[in-house]
């Protein structure tokens, strides 16, 4: 008897749904946890310590809600902020 219910496909859909839920929950918690764009850059640098200023700007700008909320970076601003963060962490 074929009821049209395919267990492997159902498990795949459930796995995808759980993954999307976890991703969205993590994004939401990181939004509320960070107070400003400087904290966002610090957090990004912890995960990607060798990131270039343009790479960080690209990652930041790809999240439109950040630019709308905190404003966008110029290359010069990003370079200065990275220098400041790195000098604070080395002291």
- Give the separation between CA 76 and CA 79, rounded to whole angstroms: 5
Which pLDDT score, from 0 to 100, does residue 29 have? 52
Q: What is the pTM of this model?
A: 0.63
- Give the separation between CA 49 and CA 89, rounded to whole angstroms: 12
Look at 25 and 10; give whichever has higher pLDDT. 10
Q: Can you tell me the mean pLDDT for 73-86?
A: 96
Confidence band for 57, pLDDT divided at 50, 70 and 90: very high
How crowded is residue 81: how many other Cβ atoms within 10 Å of its Cβ? 18
- Give the separation between CA 70 and CA 9, rounded to whole angstroms: 42
């Amino acid at each position: 008897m074929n009821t049209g219910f395919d267990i492997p496909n159902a498990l795949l859909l459930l796995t995808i749904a759980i993954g999307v839920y976890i991703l969205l929950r993590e994004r939401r918690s990181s939004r509320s946890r960070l107070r400003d764009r400087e904290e966002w850059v610090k957090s990004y640098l912890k995960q990607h310590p060798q990131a270039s200023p343009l790479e960080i700007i690209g990652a930041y700008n790809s999240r439109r809600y950040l630019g709308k909320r905190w404003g966008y970076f110029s290359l010069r601003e990003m370079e200065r902020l990275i220098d400041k963060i790195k000098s604070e962490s080395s002291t």
